[in-house]
Amino acid sequence: MEQILNMSFDEIFVVDKNGYILFVNEAAVKHYGIKAEELIGKTVYHFDKQGLWEPTIFPIVMKEKKRITMLQTTSFGKTLLVTANPVFDENNEIVMVVENARDITEMELLRQLLSEEKIKAKKYKSQLKEYHKRELDLSGFVIGSKKMEELVETAQRVAITDSTVLILGETGVGKTLLAKLIHKLSPRADGPFITLNCAAIPDQLFESELFGYSPGAFTGASKSGKMGLIELADGGTLFLDEIAEISPQMQAKLLQVIEERQFYNIGGKTPKKVDIRIITATNRDIKTYVKNGSFRQDLYYRLNTIELVIPPLRERPEEIILLTEHFLKIYNKKYGTNKYFSKDAQNLLLAYSWPGNVRELAHVIERLIITTPEDKIQPRHLPHLVNDIAQKVDDEDTISVKKLIPLDYALEQVEKQLVKTAYSKLKSSYKVAKALNISQSKAYRLMRKFDCHNSD
């Protein structure tokens, strides 16, 4: 029997009711580095004092009178998973305790390593997220809304593929910036990023600009020929902005490039293979163009493998102040100034509809940095915004801005319309305060001032 027990991989350790060691197998000898004869006959307390193991499981079993499982460390630095079972006599008294222990040092080490790696992974993930945020900021992206966060997350997933991407959005929302971001995060990041505004090139020049031409291809052509943008983009990304503006003839040629991955330059007799990713963008309702036949349906589907829609700035007002701070930082640095917006001026920025979107906001801020004589930008420095907002006030006190009006009066009417509109939609002073970026107490005072509760 002893020979069989010594064959066990697990430690077997038998102790009588007084703590004297009755039997240990060879696995126990390996765990503690002491011969069996040096262990047998001595008490567990003797070795506990010597620090051979920690903690001692025996007294716990004697007290609890039930099976106990716990982790134990040895002076050899091993970690043991110990299970101790009490053995009872006919009077239900413990006569001995049989311990079974397995060396889980490597397992515990792996667990610790795994835990450390998880912590590192979490840290790296956080750092990567911050890195991407910094990269996005450098690209002009300031993410402060759920809509833009979801859009950029989608763009990051799309970037690692080679699919065509169609970016939709109003003028000034940042379609070019998003295209650059996709390129920057793609496997083609080290390759060229070539941009062409399709609406800016006359039809007669478009083909030579895009496809290039061979030497002497036409009268006035360079004797050395010219590389087109498609060829220049080889190994990288070709971004075609305002894609809805290209002629039917050029649509057919572009479709051929996408399908065959090759093209002919003007006057060329042999095809040139090209490895490019194509990203397109438009501020038009391109689906209507497809329906009325002015844009090829087959090309539309080829370009629209992935469709990304950038929301206008008026649909993400929570980003206006963030973008304002972003552009203030850029233009203050550019012009060596230290301009900033007053709270009332910020409220005007929030109230304005920004038809030109982010581009318009950037231009307004640059103009104010240059033209405002003092550092603090006040509402009086923004008369065009005040008048535009006042024209949109839609109640019995609507202001017709056909001439200059007192600024204080205009501001009060704008404030009134904002508060009443917010309350009619949100029905809560807390929500109104959050939407208008003011304190709840101020929101409540304004709601009382403008009699919002009786205007339902």
CA distance 58 to 22: 13
CA distance 389 to 401: 10
Q: Which fold has domain 139-311?
A: Rossmann fold (3.40.50)
Please report the pLDDT score of residue 137 as a whole number. Answer: 46
Please report the pLDDT score of residue 394 as a whole number. Answer: 46
Are 390 and 376 a contacting pair, CB within 8 Å? no
Number of Cβ within a 10 Å radius of residue 150: 11
Please report the pLDDT score of residue 427 as a whole number. Answer: 81
What angle do helix axes 248-260 and 203-211 make, rounded to 10 degrees? 10
**Domain extents for the chain?**
2-103, 139-311, 313-380, 382-456
Regions of the chain where pLDDT drops below 50: 134-138, 393-399, 456
H helix intervals, 43-104: 44-49, 58-64
Q: What is the 3-state secondary structure (H, E, C) of 44-55?
A: HHHHHHCCCEEC
Whole-number Cα distances in Å, 171 to 154, 351, 354? 21, 20, 11
Please report the pLDDT score of residue 288 as a whole number. Answer: 94
Please report the pLDDT score of residue 126 as a whole number. Answer: 64
Any residues with CB less than 8 A from the CB of 425 and at least 6 apart, and which? none
CA distance 310 to 278: 18
Q: Which fold has domain 313-380?
A: Helicase, Ruva Protein; domain 3 (1.10.8)
**CATH architecture assignment, domain 2-103:** 2-Layer Sandwich (3.30)
Bridge partners of residue 266, in order along the sequence = 213
Please report the pLDDT score of residue 129 as a whole number. Answer: 56
